Amino acid sequence: MEPVIRNIKDVFDGTNAARMINLDDNPPTCTLSYSVIPPDGTSAHHIHEWEHEVYIIEGIGTLICDGKEYSVKAGDAMFIPPNVDHYTLNNGGQGDIHRIEINPLIAAQSGGAKNDGGQGTGAPPVIRNHTELDRSAGHVLIASNDGAPNYIMLHNNPMMPGAVSHPDTGGHTHEWEHVVYVLEGTATLVCGGKDYTVSAGDAILVPPNEHHQWKNESQSPVGRVTYNPVASETAEH
């Protein structure tokens, strides 16, 4: 099965949020959306039974959850628990906020939240910047022990020029999928024996049970955010 590879320039019209990995792609766990919040603008103000996991690519603003304010900035991962009234305000004075957002399939299947907020549980969000990671201990930004019920968020170590994942085995195979967003650079994804070029702004769905490997054959680092099902935490990689 071939991977899904879709760039923001192909699906984002500059205004409305664009689902880069959608239900038609048959993702096993989640969809991925890309959106921009202009200065003084906000994301949708709503409450719903599913969680959000958001990564801020650019910008500074304020996340409001059940009336409490939390400062957020580029490089932050945000886990917003289910049944929490929430929205993000762009009040940072640093131009547009660019972000990607992951939702469980029920969000798209139900047509999304159809409300303007409401009474929430008061559960606080988890906000963690990728610069806070102890890279010697791994690159997980949001994990199940943060309350994430469906998928975890990773900020992969930058792939330097010439780097290859799993060089001893030529890649690997596992029962879960990857949903990946390329933050910077250009890499080669080898999937099912075929080479695919992926670049900044690409969203990628690597299907489960497909042999795959990442290579940086360029002259610049490659940065990625990856989402995996929670089952991947305890499985052998």
CATH number of 6-133: 2.60.120.10
pLDDT attached to residue 124:
98
Check whether 237 has a pLDDT greater than 80: no
Express each pLDDT in 35-74 by its tens digit.
999 999 999 999 999 999 999 999 999 999 999 999 999 9
Produce one character per residue of 192-213: b if its CB has 16 or more CB atoms within 10 Å, e if not.
eeeebebebbbbbbbbeebebb
pLDDT of residue 14: 82
| Distances, alpha carbon 202 to alpha carbons 2, 60, 85, in Å | 15, 23, 30
pLDDT of residue 236: 53
The residue extents of the domains of the chain are 6-133, 151-233
According to CATH, the topology of domain 151-233 is Jelly Rolls (2.60.120)
pLDDT over 90 at 138, yes or no: no
Confidence of residue 150 (pLDDT cuts 50, 70, 90): very high
Binned at pLDDT 50, 70 and 90, residue 173 comes out as very high
* Residue 63, pLDDT score: 98
CA distance 20 to 101: 10
Residue 215, pLDDT > 60, answer yes
User: What are 1-21's pLDDT values in tens digits?
Assistant: 899 999 999 999 888 889 999
Average pLDDT score over residue span 161-181: 94
Q: 6-133 and 151-233: same fold?
A: yes
Task: Tell me the pLDDT tens digit for each residue of 24-44.
Answer: 999 999 999 999 999 999 999
Tell me what the pLDDT averaged over the chain comes to. Answer: 95
pTM of the model: 0.95
b/e 67-96 (16+ beta carbons within 10 angstroms → b):
eeebebebbbbbbbbbbbbbbbbbbbeeeb
The mean pLDDT value for 147-155 works out to 96
Rounded distance, CA 195 to CA 187, Å?
10
